[in-house]
Amino acid sequence: MIAISACLIGYKCRYDGKSKKNSAVIKLLESEKILPICPEQLGGLPTPRAPSNLVKGNGFDVLDGNAKVINIFGDDNTEAFIKGAYAALDMIRAHNIERCFLKGKSPSCGVDKKYLTGVMAALFIRKGYIVEEEVIT
């Protein structure tokens, strides 16, 4: 079983209430059992919601208490992002998942070094999981 950012397979859970369906990822994983996850929803944030950004660091820095996740209105969503990351970690542990396909350019799921690693991606990496960014179509 593989965990995947829910928005990549059509779930309308992104900050803007839309999905980011990725047909290349779906095709790649069509023979796999998948567990869709959305850490921002798991952390209690609504959909849609104001977009958030990592401030003064990346997801690793957020986990260490040295950076924050702030939305465009200045609201601090750090606690929700951390809560959602740990809830997602509990889910992948419960399903014995070792590999994850995550949405790039996301303050939760991003694993692109150019953008910055997101909070959930950082947690998964720290815990030794295989974390891959989506296949770009």
Provide DSSP, 68-137.
EEEETTS-B-HHHHHHHHHHHHHHHHHTT--EEEE-SS-TTT---TTT---HHHHHHHHTT-EEEEPPP-
Which residue type is seen at 99?
R
Q: How many CB atoms neighbour CB 16 within 10 A?
A: 13
For 15-39, what is the mean pLDDT? 90
Q: What is the pLDDT of residues 74-116, one digit of tens each?
A: 999 999 999 999 999 999 999 999 999 999 999 999 997 766 8
- Rounded distance between C-alpha atoms, residue 112 and residue 133, angstroms: 7
Q: What is the pLDDT of residues 43-58, one digit of tens each?
A: 999 999 999 999 999 9
The model's confidence at residue 64, banded by pLDDT at 50, 70 and 90, is very high
The model's pTM is 0.93
Of the candidates 59, 45, 35, 58, which has an alpha carbon nearest to the alpha carbon of residue 14?
45
* Boundaries of every domain in the chain: 2-48+79-133
- Residue 22 has a pLDDT of 87
